[in-house]
Amino acid sequence: MRNSEEIGTELGPVNGGIRVVVHSEEQGDVPERASWDNKVQFMLSIIGYSVGLGNIWRFPYLCQQNGGGAFLIPFAIMLILEGIPLFLIELGIGQKMRLGALGAWNTIHPWLGGLGVASCTVTFFVALYYNVIITWCFYYLFNSFRSPLPWAECPMLNETTVVPECEKSSETAYFWYRTTLDVSPSMDDFGGMKWWIVLCLLLAWIVVFFIVMKGIQSSGKVVYFTSMFPYIVLTIFFIRGITLKGAGAGLMHMYTPKVEKLLNPNVWLDAATQVFYSFGLAFGSLIAFGSYNPPKNNCVRDVILVSICNALTAIYASLVVFAILGFKAMLNYDKCLLHNKNHIMELKNQGKIIPIEIIDQVNNMEPPNSTAYDLEMCSLAKQLDQAAEGTGLAFIVFTQAIVELPGAPFWAIIFFLMLLSLGIGSQIGILEGMLCTIFDIDIFKRIRKPYLTGFVCLICFIVGLIFTTGAGEYWLKLFDSFAGTIGLVVIALLEMIAVIFIYGHEKFTQDIEDMTGYRPGIYWQVTWRFLAPVIMTCILISSIAFRIIKKSTYMAWDKNKGETVELEYPGWVMAIALCIVLASILPIICVFLLRRFQFLKLDVDIHQGAIRRIDTTVSTREMMADVDMDEYDSEGDEDEEEDMNRLGPNAKGKTFKMEVMDF
């Protein structure tokens, strides 16, 4: 199957509302579209993309905050009603069209070409900051080869004085905020670039470049490691974790169902949002992955297997995380009891009279009933309730637990290698979605893929230098909050509308049956046409309402207090955030207006040359007959050979195709 055909495009005159676009192609100049070496490579690539850092540091937090084991109920329901249906739409349309996001949506209808541009824009924003997380993992990995670990104890100002900032916070928090980030007090203070982070960011982009430089021919080999290694590490941590004191308490605390939480609509919204982001929907990456599959690949089975794997991985990772965090909570609880015991002994030695019941409590290592005599209120439940997510979980809380393990450097090394594998696996998919879209544009076809990939990585590195400043973490959270939220939901909702109501659900159903031999039944029809769009609309409305009602804030580090404080985003930062959101949405509107009202006299070819009929309005009516889609069928090349044979052996030069577009 060909990746692209057109060499030149001529726009004929508009007569009677019909514009004729003539595509020409030079024989022998068109490369075959890349394909996976085998099915295992495809499955590992898509699992590596879908199973990312969010499964490790986001899902456990949501379980803890939203009812423990009860959260699995709304998560499973949203997975079935929202995640799997949209997953099949993206994978199926990519496999059918054999194109990236830009070409696929343009083929369904030229007015929808902006969806591909919007996906590419969002992917660019996310790729910028996602590689910064990989950068931090590299920095921690390098420091993990030191013994003792550099975040195991506070640095000293002199022989007797601990650094005050570390003393007020914790060893791991100090290493994160001061040693690693050298963080600024607010976004108004950039604090300059940190050379050690710049070098790690450069390394991260070099590694990513060499992995994706040849597309799936190069990245397909790496996924054998990036997809399998995290499961090995999780299993090692699980076996070690369940043998630790407090692991059972951590698991019980997490998975004890609090059914009353299900009455809270925010729990269901969190479940729907987590499902949406955990699959990596609307980035265009799944469409790109699907486009490299053979036409008869069973994409329905792939969707179900990957969905189950994704969900089970999130649950499995939660077991590991809370087994380790239970161990950490028990250690802190025991330290609290020991502190009380030593404190009472000191008071007794000073001659103070202590009630016998308090002495018995502290001697038996029981939590006190009051704070009399300056005793600390020790509570295991309170320790377990100290929730953390994201970078706070990975770089502060979990590293604190690792310090307490025998052979701590070993556990730190494999932990950050696991995070690197998860991050790089997802980054491969993110960049593949963006690069596949770029290579579908005609003007980039003649540029060698390694050169264009290198240029994209260089641009991302230069723009990403903002994340290496003292305010870098604040900027990362800004991009995470605004670049990959509202824009992605809008794109996903319009994707579903485009396939089900413009391309036609009957046509898409027939396509799935032709490719897999399985005809999607009532479950798929109901979720595609009704339930999934409604859920996506609810997510979109609630996201917008949340942004309007709640003031946008971020957590900044206060070195004087040794803790984070909540600050409002400055006005100029919110203006940038608005531009980020608009950049993710405006391409959809702009392309529609430009093509609907013919503001452009020239168009850019972003799909394979073919004759197409645009003879329908937005409805469930079939938009293209089978003859229109021959360009995507395996028989298409044979038809072209027959046409050439009819021309005879002396025929040479160009062949022409027409694209008839009715406006």
Q: Can you give 142-186 as a three-state secondary structure string?
A: HHCCCCCCCCCCCCECCCCCECHHHHHCCHHHHHHHHHHCCCCCC
Q: Which of 90-99, 108-117, 187-196, 443-452 has the lowest mean pLDDT?
A: 443-452
| CA nearest neighbour of 663 among 187, 12, 196, 15 | 15
Count the alpha carbons within 13 Å of 478 in the hemisphere toward its beta carbon. Answer: 23
Binding residues for Na(+): 48, 51, 55, 278, 310, 422, 426
Is the preceding peptide bond at 31 cis, omega within 30 degrees of 0? no
Sequential DSSP letters for 66-124: TTGGGGHHHHHHHIIIIIHHHHHHHHHHHHHHTS-HHHHHHHH-GGGHHHHHHHHHHHH
Looking at residue 236, its pLDDT comes to 96
Domain residue limits, the chain: 33-340+382-600
Average pLDDT over residues 357-381: 71
**Res. 245: pLDDT tops 80:** yes
pLDDT tens column, 327-345: 988 988 888 888 778 877 8
Looking at residue 341, its pLDDT comes to 80
Angle between helices 84-97 and 486-497 (to 10 degrees): 60
| CA nearest neighbour of 587 among 47, 20, 113, 34 | 113
Rounded CA gap, 73 and 261, in Å? 11
Strand ranges (DSSP E) for 364-517? Answer: none
**Res. 441: pLDDT tops 50:** yes
Burial of 545 per CB tally in 10 Å (0-12, 13-18, 19+): exposed
The number of beta carbons lying within 10 Å of the beta carbon of residue 376 is: 14
Q: Which residues pair with residue 619 across a beta bridge?
A: none
**Res. 228: pLDDT tops 80:** yes
Rounded CA gap, 628 and 36, in Å? 26
The answer to whether 107 and 304 are in contact (CB under 8 A) is no
Tokens 């430089």 label which residue? 213
**Res. 150: pLDDT tops 80:** yes
Looking at residue 393, its pLDDT comes to 86
Looking at residue 588, its pLDDT comes to 95
- The residue among 350 and 566 whose pLDDT is bigger is 566
Helices (H), 483-622: 486-497, 505-516, 522-526, 532-549, 571-596
**Res. 515: pLDDT tops 70:** yes
The number of beta carbons lying within 10 Å of the beta carbon of residue 522 is: 7
Of all residues in the chain, what percent carry a pLDDT higher than 90? 56
**Res. 633: pLDDT tops 70:** no
Phi, psi at 659, each rounded to 5°: -120, 110
Burial of 80 per CB tally in 10 Å (0-12, 13-18, 19+): middle
Q: How far is CA 269 from CA 64, 82, 207, 334, 526, in A?
A: 15, 12, 36, 37, 20
Burial of 282 per CB tally in 10 Å (0-12, 13-18, 19+): buried
Looking at residue 355, its pLDDT comes to 74
Q: Which residues pair with residue 633 across a beta bridge?
A: none
Q: Identity (one letter) of the amino acid at 221?
A: K
pLDDT tens column, 39-56: 999 999 999 999 999 888
Residue 372 — very low, low, confident or very high, per pLDDT cuts 50/70/90? Answer: low
Structure tokens at 450: 């390694």
Q: Which residues pair with residue 180 across a beta bridge?
A: none
Q: Which residues pair with residue 476 across a beta bridge?
A: none
Strand ranges (DSSP E) for 5-90? Answer: 8-15, 18-26
Work out the mean pLDDT of the chain and round it to a whole number: 83
Rounded CA gap, 283 and 290, in Å? 13
The answer to whether 404 and 327 are in contact (CB under 8 A) is yes
Q: How far does CA 52 lie from the centroid of its chain?
A: 7
The answer to whether 105 and 93 are in contact (CB under 8 A) is no
Looking at residue 535, its pLDDT comes to 93
Rounded CA gap, 659 and 661, in Å? 6
Burial 216-250 (b: 16+ CB within 10 A, else e): bebbbebbeebbebbbebbebbbebbbebebbebb
Looking at residue 370, its pLDDT comes to 62
The number of beta carbons lying within 10 Å of the beta carbon of residue 661 is: 21
Sequential DSSP letters for 588-652: HHHHHHHHHTT--SS----S-----B----SSSS--S-GGGGGGGSTTHHHHHHHHHHHH-TT--
**Res. 627: pLDDT tops 90:** no
| CA nearest neighbour of 468 among 171, 188, 180 | 180
Candidate CATH numbers 1.10.260, 1.10.10, 1.20.1740, 1.10.3470; the one for domain 33-340+382-600: 1.20.1740
Residues ≥6 apart with Cβ < 8 Å to 286: 46, 49, 87, 90, 91, 94, 279, 280, 433
Looking at residue 631, its pLDDT comes to 42
Looking at residue 369, its pLDDT comes to 63
Looking at residue 178, its pLDDT comes to 94
**Res. 168: pLDDT tops 50:** yes
Helices (H), 175-246: 195-212, 216-241
Binding residues: 48, 51, 55, 278, 310, 422, 426
Tokens 């397909």 label which residue? 220
Q: Identity (one letter) of the amino acid at 498?
A: A
Residues ≥6 apart with Cβ < 8 Å to 67: 257, 258, 259, 260, 261, 262, 267
Q: Which residues pair with residue 21 across a beta bridge?
A: 11, 659
**Res. 347: pLDDT tops 90:** no
